[in-house]
Amino acid sequence: MADLLAIGSRRGLRPALPLLLPAYLWLTVAIFLPLSAMVFFSFMTDLPLAGKEWSFTLGNYAAFFSQSLYSTLLFASLRLGLEVTLWCIVIGYPAAYVLAKVLKGRSREAIFLLVILPFWSNGLVRIFSWAMVLREGGILDTALNAVLPFKINIDLMYSYPAVIIGLVHSYVPYMVLTCYLTLQAIDDSLIEAGRSLGASRRQVLWRVIIPLSMPGLIAGSALIFVPVVGSFMEPRILGGRTGTFYGTVIEDQFVAVFNWPLGAALSFILLAVVLIILALAAPVLRRAA
Amino acid sequence: MAGVQVANVSRSFGAHKALDDVSIDFADGGFYALLGPSGSGKTTLLRQIAGFDFPDAGRIAIGGESVERVPVEKRRIGMVFQNYALFPNMSVADNVAFGLSVRGEPKATIATEVQRALDLVQLGKLGGRKPHQLSGGQRQRVALARAIVTKPRVLLLDEPLGALDKALRVDMQIELKRIQREIGITTIFVTHDQEEALTMSDRIGILRDGRLVQEGPPEEIYDRPQSEFAATFLGDANIFRGDATGSGIRLPDGTTIAASTGASVPAGAKASCAVRPERIRISTGAAKPDAGNANTLKGQVSRRIFAGNNSTYFVDRDGQTLKVIVQNTGAERLAEGQPVVLSWSPDSTVLIAA
């Protein structure tokens, strides 16, 4: 990699421009412009639609700090992001390990397909199908009561666990994929070398495999944590009344209350908080990787 | 430290017999080479001894203790891998310390032992480097230090020099041999390089298709191969096939070749003779017959390859091409197409049962 970069800089950036340009033009048009518009909105008192009066204000940002509701919800969302990320590691990492190190050939392809299947289904369909499973008298409830000799009442619908389940289901493929890639790059002979030196399988896992797959764990965690903190669809549908999070409040501002300036300001505060968290974690993560 | 006994070990992968009833005794403190072409089962055998894989049948003992069902981490072996298999996330010192550290040795002991091992492989000052900052030869030394620092009972080397270039490989051969002598550890070395096997080991085992073809000291295998395969795989050999006469063989054209070493084959049975190319004398006229060159054949030089200190002549004779290696002593060089007489001693002729 370092060699490639060295070659690139020796030849200068100019020959690379035609390769870079399409992507950066697209990014400028598709992300930078709308996002700038949003920054602009976040400092306005009202939307300049239908000839309404508006002026510049810091009030939208001040609202976040004056009402404890927003910071409470932000903390709830950060906790949600943390929990979902942890569950994704717990569930996704072992699966990635088996895919990368145990299965070979055909069976690997088949299992891989199952892992990325959630990507191919519509998000809403995914969430509503969970609603069918989790509600009282739903599939899980009926099935368990058919098997168990005693009566239990499974009603996970509209609860915090339901939100976690839905989010983990949506995001676990990211963890499996990123970890799979780093695990597959670990030479099997490193594992054998560890064991030949007297390390048990568990010691090899903790001292060799996990440290070497840290880049994948970190990449997967970042890919999951950031969108989960701002998520609104799963909390709203599966969480019901308990599903009020920072993301759903932002969504409300845009969709229900039609207070775009406040929604934009809340979004940028979230962005700032996430960036601060990633920046604070960077030195630790770099050492781990 | 300990010897290793492999007795009647077999291992199949599906229908493929990777090892077929192999028995070898590796004596304590010896340096053994397992030599064979790829797919001969030499690496499979090494992996059975290491414990990465278990045999279907047979017994493996290290220091008299049966280990064929003992997992690798409990066998107290040291292994050097073909690609070195250094942990890329750890420094050189941490790599070497790994085996002691998983055993829970105190930190001070680890530090001294690691330094001693690194000094032994002459890398005492590079403990702080990461593996990717080392050259191939240095990585090789780290891998060796890491394998011996735990004081294993046996040292297993899987084509350890295969990835090095020629000059470095010769250096490492000498180095490896020095270290092995210094700590006196039983060493089993897998290679497909016959020269490496000849120069380094006390004993060689030649494998082919999962079977042990021949086993013994390098000189013995080279001078008295027991099969055409052993003769041609370890070094070069001219092979003559014919019927045994009791004191040699008779070729289909009636020529007899006397052989005074090798197997005893009853007269009339099919047999072959092997002669090393450097044992044959080549001359332009008929040499005076004496005991030293009792075997003579006429032929014609078809090609000559000059290699500095020696020349290889390819001599055509009755549809067969024979190889003769002659030291360059400044004597007359033979031209291609020239009729020549080849002669060699029966002592240099090994009789092999077909």
Contact with chain A for residue B314, Cβ under 8 A: no
Q: Average per-residue pLDDT in chain B?
A: 91
Chain A residues whose beta carbon lies within 8 Å of the beta carbon of residue B76: 198
In a domain, A14, yes or no: no
Instruction: Annotate B70-139 with DSSP letters as a single string.
Output: S-GGGS-EEEE-TT----TTS-HHHHHHHHHHHTT--HHHHHHHHHHHHHHTT-TT-TTS-GGGS-HHHH
Please list, in sequence order, all residues whose beta carbon lies within 8 angstroms of the beta carbon of residue B254, skipping any fewer than 6 positions away.
Answer: none
Nearest CA in chain A to B148: A197
Dist. CA A60–CA A263, nearest whole Å: 8
Does B139 reach chain A within 8 Å, measured CB to CB?
no
Q: Is B13 on the interface with A (CB under 8 A)?
A: no
- Whether residue B132 lies within 8 A of chain A, CB to CB, comes out as no
On chain A, the residues whose CB falls within 8 A of the CB of B99 are 197-199
Kindly tell me the sign of the dihedral angle through the C-alpha atoms of B241, B246, B247, B252. negative
Assigned domain for A11 exists: no
Q: Do both A121 and A30 map to the same domain?
A: no
Please report whether residue A62 resides in a domain. Answer: no
Chain A contacts to B (CB-CB under 8 A): 187, 189-190, 192-200, 203, 207-208, 211-212
**Best to test chain B binding among A197, A200, A202, A286 (most B CBs inside 10 Å):** A197
A107 lies in the same domain as A193: yes
Q: How far apart are CA A236 and CA A244, in angstroms?
A: 7
Give the Cα separation of A210 and A289 in Å (integer). 10
Contact at CB, B73 and A195, closer than 8 angstroms = yes
**Which tokens belong to B123?**
């890398």
CA distance A200 to chain B (A): 6
Give, in words, the CATH class of B4-223: alpha beta
Same-domain status, A78 and A33: no
Tell me how far apart the alpha carbons of residues A247 and A81 are, in angstroms, rounded to a whole number: 11
- What is the pLDDT at residue A5? 47
A107 plus A224 within the same structural domain: yes
Best residue of B48, B75, B79, B94 to probe chain A, by most A CBs closer than 10 Å: B79
Q: How far apart are CA B328 and CA B265, in angstroms?
A: 37
B73: contact with A, CB 8 A cutoff = yes
Specify the pLDDT at position A271.
92
Q: Which residues of A touch B150 (CB under 8 A)?
A: 197-198
Question: Percent of chain A at pLDDT above 90?
Answer: 43
Torsion of CA A68, A70, A71, A76, to 10 degrees: 120
Identity of the residue in B71, B83, B150 whose CB atom sits nearest the CB atom of A197: B150
| HSE-CB of B287 using CA atoms within 13 angstroms | 21
In residues, how long is chain A?
Answer: 289
- Other beta carbons less than 10 A from residue A143's beta carbon: 12
Torsion of CA B95, B96, B98, B100, to 10 degrees: -170
Quote the CA–CA distance of B315 and B338 in Å, as a whole number: 9
Q: Are strands B4-13 and B16-26 parallel, antiparallel or unpaired?
A: antiparallel
pLDDT attached to residue A10: 54
Residues of chain A found within 8 Å of residue B49, distances taken between Cβ atoms: none
Contacts for B114 with CB less than 8 Å, ≥ 6 apart: B93, B96, B97, B100, B127, B145, B149
- Of A270-274, B164-168, B241-245, least confident by mean pLDDT is B164-168
Strands B320-327 and B256-258: unpaired
- Per CB-CB distance under 8 Å, the chain A contacts of B81 are 189, 192-193
Q: Looking at beta carbons, which pairs linking A72-79 to residues 24 or more positions away fall under 8 Å?
A: A73/A244, A73/A245, A73/A246, A73/A249, A74/A246, A74/A269, A74/A270, A74/A273, A76/A245, A76/A246, A77/A228, A77/A229, A77/A230, A77/A231, A77/A245, A77/A246, A77/A247, A77/A270, A78/A229, A78/A273, A78/A277
Intrachain domains B4-223 and B236-353 with the same fold = no
Distance from CA of B77 to the nearest CA of A (A): 6
In degrees and rounded to multiples of 5, residue B117 shows phi and psi of: -65, -40
Helix (H) or strand (E) holding A268: helix A260-288
A141 and A217 together in one domain: yes
Strand duo B339-344 + B281-283: pairing:
antiparallel
Segments making up each domain of chain B, as ranges: 4-223, 236-353
Looking at the domain assignment, is residue A63 inside a domain? no
In a domain, A158, yes or no: yes
User: For residue A37, what are the domain limits?
Assistant: 20-57
pLDDT at B289: 62
- Of B157, B140, B154, B155, give the one whose Cα is nearest residue B192: B157
Edge-to-edge strands, sheet with B270-275: B256-258, B248-250, B238-244, B270-275, B349-353, B261-262
Answer yes or no: do B79 and A192 touch at CB < 8 A: yes
B150 vs A198, A208, A212: nearest CB: A198
Residues from chain B that touch A196, judged by Cβ atoms under 8 A, are 50, 52, 72-73, 77-79, 147, 156
Both A226 and A158 in one domain: the answer is yes
Looking at residue A142, its amino acid is T
The reply to whether A6 falls in a domain is no
Q: How many CB atoms lie within 10 A of CB A83?
A: 16
* Percentage of chain B modeled with pLDDT above 90: 64
Q: Answer whether B265's CB lies under 8 Å from B234's CB.
A: no
Top-confidence residue, B328 or A91: A91
Please indicate, yes or no, whether residues A174 and A36 belong to a single structural domain of this protein. Answer: no
Which of A192, A193, A211 is opposite residue B89, by nearest beta carbon? Answer: A211
Question: Would residue A254 count as lying in a domain?
Answer: yes
C-alpha neighbours within 13 Å on the C-beta side of residue A55: 2
In this predicted structure, what is the pLDDT of residue B171?
85
Specify whether the CB–CB gap between A119 and A223 falls below 8 A.
no
In this structure, are residues B126 and B16 in contact, taking their beta carbons and an 8 Å threshold? no
b/e string for B287-306 if b means 16 or more Cβ within 10 A? eeeeeebbbbbebebeebee
Q: Residue B334 pLDDT more than 70? A: yes
Which strand (E) or helix (H) includes residue A34?
helix A33-42
Distance, CA of B340 to CA of B74 (rounded, Å): 63
Domain B236-353 in CATH 2.40.50.100? The answer is yes
Q: How far apart are CA B346 and CA A184, in angstroms?
A: 59
Q: Are B164 and B197 in contact (CB under 8 A)?
A: no
Going by the DSSP 8-state scheme, the letter that residue B39 receives in this structure is: T
Question: Integer distance in angstroms from the first to the last C-alpha of chain A?
Answer: 16
Instruction: Write the DSSP symbol of residue B264.
Output: -
Quote the number of domains for chain A.
2
Looking at chain B, which residue has its C-alpha nearest residue A205? B102
**CA separation for the pair B18, B45 (Å, rounded):** 9
Residue A5 lies in a domain: no
* DSSP letter string, A109-153: HHHHHHHHHHHHS-HHHHHHHHHHHHSTTSHHHHHHHHHSSS---
CA of A162 to nearest chain B CA: how many angstroms apart?
A: 39
pLDDT in tens, B103-158: 999 999 999 999 999 999 889 999 999 999 999 889 999 999 999 999 999 999 99
* Predicted pLDDT at A6: 47
A51 shares its domain with A136: no
Residues of chain B neighbouring A193 (CB-CB closer than 8 A) = 79, 81, 85-87, 146
Range list of H helices, chain B: 42-50, 92-102, 107-120, 136-148, 166-183, 194-200, 218-223, 228-233
Q: What is the pLDDT of residue B291?
A: 61
Band (pLDDT 50/70/90 cuts) for residue B286 is: low
Residue whose C-alpha is closest to residue B86's, from A183, A194, A206, A288: A194
Q: Are residues A51 and A122 in the same domain?
A: no
Phi, psi for B209 (deg, rounded to 5): 50, 40
How far, in Å, CA of B71 to CA of B45, rounded?
A: 15
> A77: exposed, middle or buried (C-beta count within 10 Å: 0-12, 13-18, 19+)?
buried
**Any A CB within 8 A of B98 CB:** yes
Radius of gyration of chain A (CA): 23
pLDDT of A3: 47
Q: Alpha-carbon distance B54 to B39, whole Å?
A: 18
Q: Do A189 and B52 touch (CB under 8 A)?
A: no
**Together in a domain, A30 and A86:** no
Quickly tell me which residue has 């490492």 as its tokens: B172
Inter-chain residue contact A197 with B102, CB threshold 8 Å: yes
User: Using one digit for the tens of pLDDT, what is the confidence trace for B70-109?
Assistant: 999 999 999 999 999 999 999 999 999 999 999 999 999 9
A238 neighbors A36 (Cβ within 8 angstroms): no
For residue A193, the domain's CATH number is 1.10.3720.10
Contact A196 B102 (CB under 8 A): no
- The residue behind tokens 């290491």 is B50
Q: What is the full per-residue pLDDT of chain A (289 aa) written as tens digits?
A: 444 444 445 567 788 888 889 988 998 888 888 889 899 989 988 877 767 778 888 888 998 999 899 999 999 999 999 999 999 999 999 999 999 998 888 888 888 888 888 778 888 888 888 888 888 777 888 888 888 888 777 777 888 889 999 999 889 999 999 999 999 999 999 999 999 999 999 999 999 999 999 999 999 999 999 999 999 988 998 888 888 899 999 999 988 888 889 999 999 999 999 999 989 888 877 776 5
Nearest CA in chain A to B98: A197
Does B83 contact A at CB distance below 8 Å?
yes
Q: Which candidate from A190, A195, A200 shows the least CB-CB separation from B87?
A: A190
Q: Which residue has the higher pLDDT, B246 or B290?
A: B246
* 3-state class (DSSP) for residue A57: coil
